[in-house]
Amino acid sequence: MSIHIRHAQTKRTYHLHSIPPSKYIGVGEGEPYEIVIGNERGRKAGVRVTIDGIDILTGKPGDLDPRGQMWMVEPHSSATISAWPESSSEGAQFVFGRANNAVAAHIGDGTNVGIINFTE
């Protein structure tokens, strides 16, 4: 499994910087982004993703428990997630912003603002 973050309009992948134990990307405020999850395996895989500590499928604080609701990625393919799912056909686009405007500042406790996490 692989994950990368790219600009939603230009499709330019953000460069990953490693400062152990974490990895970071440099972005500007207001930049729209999307998450691309690759499945190089020969079987379907499930992935849970949190942004700012909020599970993007449920809209609730995420715990990355692999038994929860997941994005399913077909074998040898990828899935692109570019918005918070709000209905079966629409959602709020992911946009890098200030910490006080983060989804977690309004829904969660805000301790994970700026963190995109995933587990399979």
CB 115 within 8 A of CB 54: no
Of residues 35 and 106, more confidently modeled: 35
- The answer for residues whose C-beta is within 8 angstroms of residue 70's C-beta and 6 or more apart is 46, 47, 48, 57
Q: Compute the CA torsion angle 18, 28, 39, 104 (nearest 10 deg).
A: 90
Of residues 6 and 110, more confidently modeled: 6
Please tell me the predicted confidence (pLDDT) of residue 118.
78
Neighbours of 104 (CB within 10 A): 21
The rounded radius of gyration (Å) of the Cα atoms in the chain is 14
CA quadruple 6, 45, 115, 16: dihedral positive or negative? negative
Please tell me the predicted confidence (pLDDT) of residue 22.
72
C-alpha to C-alpha distance for 77 and 85, rounded to whole angstroms: 21
The phi and psi torsions of 106 (rounded to 5 degrees) equal -105, -25
Question: Is residue 24 scored above 80 in pLDDT?
Answer: no
32 upstream amide cis, omega within 30 of 0: no
